[in-house]
Amino acid sequence: MEDPSLASSNSLLRTDVLSRNAYLLIGLATLTLLVSWFNKKPKGPFPPGPKGIPFFGNAFQLPHSYTWFKFTEWGEQYGPILGLNMAGQPMVVLNTGKVCADLMDRRSVIYSDRPRFIMASEILTGGMLVGFANYGPIWRRLRKAAHLGLHLRAAEAYYPIEEREAAILVKDLLRDPVSWDSHIRRSIASTMFNVVYNGKPLATKEDPTVAKINALMHRVVQAALPGRFLVEIIPWMRYLPDWMAGWKRRGKQRFREDSEMFKGFLQNVKNEVATGEYEPSFGSHLVYPGNPHGLSKDEEAWLAGIIFGAGSDSTAGTLGWFMLLMALHPEAQKKAQEEIDRVVGRHRLPNFEDRDSLPYVNAVIQEVLRWHPVSPLGLPHRLMEDDWYEGYFLPKGTIVVSNIYGINRDPEFFPDSDAFKPERYYNEDEDLTKKAEFDDTHGQGHYSYGFGRRVCVGMNLANNALFINIVSILWAVNINCPVGPDGKKIIPDRTKFIDDGLVVRPEQFDCVIEPREHDVNDKLGGL
């Protein structure tokens, strides 16, 4: 029998059946918008792009999946700024780091808005999902509070949590190497839950807490997909009374339920802070007396919950790419392990104090993030005012997409860009290094964390989690391709992906994980 909660969730995501009159209404509304758009005289030339069809422009030319490949192909053909007409909605795709920096960074005051997500942002999350929030007072409050709790120095308070969870992950990999992907997902979810709420380590990735928040994130992402809800096409439907709009009634009910869940998690933190006996966490930063951020109780609860939900999946996805790349590149794995053995030795697990002494390991992490970002297109921005760039006119309301995958593969700045080469971040090869240090990467060496005022607010926390997990895994185990009955290696297909709407990760693959020493498990202590 179907779980009622799942049935309710599915019904929420399912677009209401449209009546004949509704289809007519859509047609009339669409026609009105198109006529208005095509009758509007542009002030200047729009960036070049593929020729579309009348009325619908390029709307039917985009593939349903792996869109970043098509954008990269078009970028090579039409240039660094690609212009598209999505059924009357102007869109530009930015295909180089220079263009992104010029617009998203240097003109961030007018490039920091989001498109309107009525169902995903306004109804399901009450406008408090910081990633989808429009550029305004609510977003500023949420962003400032998140930054104060996650900036470079603040994130150091979470080192003990991350070191403990990395050690547990290593022990799980040694105990049950076949289930490596599940162990990674559990470990990162547990890390984020402890960082945000100072809870106990989660036993499995199917923990009810994780399942609830993952379900929320899935609902929101699905609701943001084009065409999922009619209200995105006909915005005035937002004001229909609840009794006339089942989708709206169910969405508001979900928002109330999720708000109570998040407030419950944060209340536990408040109780601990009130006693004076608590460990530093993002939640305690939000609720600590005398440290107000101007957030309402709902805003505090949603900010903490979304930091947990969004951070868990993206970091676990990046570790999935790491495992694939290590299996495919044993020479890079061996070189990193040799560096770890020189610096750390074999008597203890690595820790954050070793970080600055492990330049090649850090280069491996940067190259993993560059080689395949888990969010190849990021989230779209919306231009708030008319703008001109390189002789092109960009009208107010233009949707602006950063092709992060293509930018990370730009051969001008990343020679031999399809190859996995940590050396490009390592001073042994000056030709590979000099371009990766391009100033507009904000010191990251890649563009995977986004641009401008919308750059990933949790990137310091993510970098820390990636370092301690990757260095601990490399210290403890070897990751290799399996060998078939014919004695040949079974090479995972690096071109097969899973895109679940939140992150892009490699398709599940088999690898052989073996301890580097027979007694490595004994050195982990009584975890």
**How far lies 87's CA from each of 32, 58, 237, in Å?**
12, 7, 20
pLDDT of res. 66: 87
> 511 a known binding residue?
no
Sign of the alpha-carbon torsion through 168, 174, 176, 181? positive
Residue type, 420: F
pLDDT of res. 307: 92
Lowest-confidence region among 51-55, 223-227, 312-316:
223-227
Please, which residues bridge with residue 86 across strands?
57, 89
What confidence tens digit (pLDDT) does each residue in 119-171 have?
A: 999 999 999 999 999 999 999 999 999 999 999 999 999 999 999 999 999 99
Better pLDDT: 124 or 519: 124
pLDDT of res. 420: 97
pTM value is 0.88
Lowest-confidence region among 27-31, 95-99, 477-481:
27-31
At residue 54, does pLDDT exceed 80?
A: yes
Cβ proximity of 37 and 88 under 8 Å: yes
SS3 content of the chain, % helix, strand, coil (to 5): 55, 10, 35
Would you tell me how many other CB atoms lie within 10 Å of the CB of residue 190? 26
What confidence tens digit (pLDDT) does each residue in 342-400 have?
A: 999 999 999 999 999 999 999 999 999 999 999 999 889 999 999 999 999 999 999 99
Lowest-confidence region among 216-225, 277-286, 309-318, 503-512:
216-225
At residue 527, does pLDDT exceed 70?
A: no
Q: Report the C-alpha gap between 376 and 371 in whole angstroms.
A: 10
- What HEC string does 36-95 produce? HHHHCCCCCCCCCCCCCECCCECCCCCCCCCHHHHHHHHHHHHCCEEEEEECCEEEEEEC
The domain locations on the chain are: 4-524
pLDDT of res. 26: 57
Q: Report the C-alpha gap between 384 and 382 in whole angstroms.
A: 6
What mean pLDDT do residues 83-111 have? 94
Cβ proximity of 83 and 392 under 8 Å: yes
What mean pLDDT do residues 509-517 have? 94
**How far lies 294's CA from each of 125, 290, 298, 305, 431, in Å?**
19, 11, 12, 18, 48
Angle between the N-to-C axes of helices 459-476 and 359-371, in degrees from 0 to 180, rounded to the nearest 10: 120
Look over the chain and give the mean of its residue pLDDT values, rounded to a whole number.
Answer: 87
pLDDT of res. 33: 56
Angle between the N-to-C axes of helices 180-197 and 297-328, in degrees from 0 to 180, rounded to the nearest 10: 150
Q: Report the C-alpha gap between 515 and 60 in whole angstroms.
A: 50
At residue 251, does pLDDT exceed 90?
A: yes
Could you give the percent of the chain with pLDDT greater than 70?
A: 88
Better pLDDT: 206 or 322: 322
Better pLDDT: 228 or 242: 242
Distance of CA 345 to the CA centre of its chain: 34
Cβ proximity of 134 and 125 under 8 Å: no
pLDDT of res. 4: 43
Could you give the percent of the chain with pLDDT greater than 90?
A: 64
pLDDT of res. 432: 53
pLDDT of res. 15: 40
What mean pLDDT do residues 444-458 have? 92
Backbone angles phi, psi at 278, to 5 degrees: -155, 155
Q: Report the C-alpha gap between 156 and 467 in whole angstroms.
A: 13
Q: Report the C-alpha gap between 131 and 313 in whole angstroms.
A: 15
Q: How confident is the model at residue 205 (pLDDT cuts 50, 70, 90)?
A: low
Q: Report the C-alpha gap between 308 and 466 in whole angstroms.
A: 16
pLDDT of res. 302: 94
Backbone angles phi, psi at 442, to 5 degrees: 55, 35
Cβ proximity of 143 and 414 under 8 Å: no
Residue type, 229: F
DSSP assigned state of 424: G
What confidence tens digit (pLDDT) does each residue in 266-314 have?
A: 999 999 999 888 888 999 999 888 767 889 999 999 999 999 988 888 9
What mean pLDDT do residues 512-516 have? 95
Cβ proximity of 222 and 13 under 8 Å: yes
At residue 8, does pLDDT exceed 70?
A: no
Q: Report the C-alpha gap between 99 and 137 in whole angstroms.
A: 27
Q: Report the C-alpha gap between 497 and 504 in whole angstroms.
A: 6
Of 368, 262, 260, 267, residue with least CA distance to 319: 368
> What SS3 class is residue 196?
helix
User: The CATH number of 4-524 is which of 3.40.50.300, 1.10.150.310, 2.60.120.620, 1.10.630.10?
Assistant: 1.10.630.10
pLDDT of res. 426: 83
Q: Report the C-alpha gap between 223 and 122 in whole angstroms.
A: 11
What mean pLDDT do residues 513-524 have? 84
pLDDT of res. 5: 44
Locate 319 and state its tokens: 């570790």
Which H or E element spans position 187?
helix 180-197
Looking only at Cα atoms, what is the longest distance across the chain? 75
What mean pLDDT do residues 474-479 have? 97
Backbone angles phi, psi at 57, to 5 degrees: 60, -125
Which H or E element spans position 233?
none
At residue 210, does pLDDT exceed 80?
A: no
Lowest-confidence region among 59-73, 194-208, 444-458:
194-208
At residue 42, does pLDDT exceed 80?
A: no
pLDDT of res. 371: 96
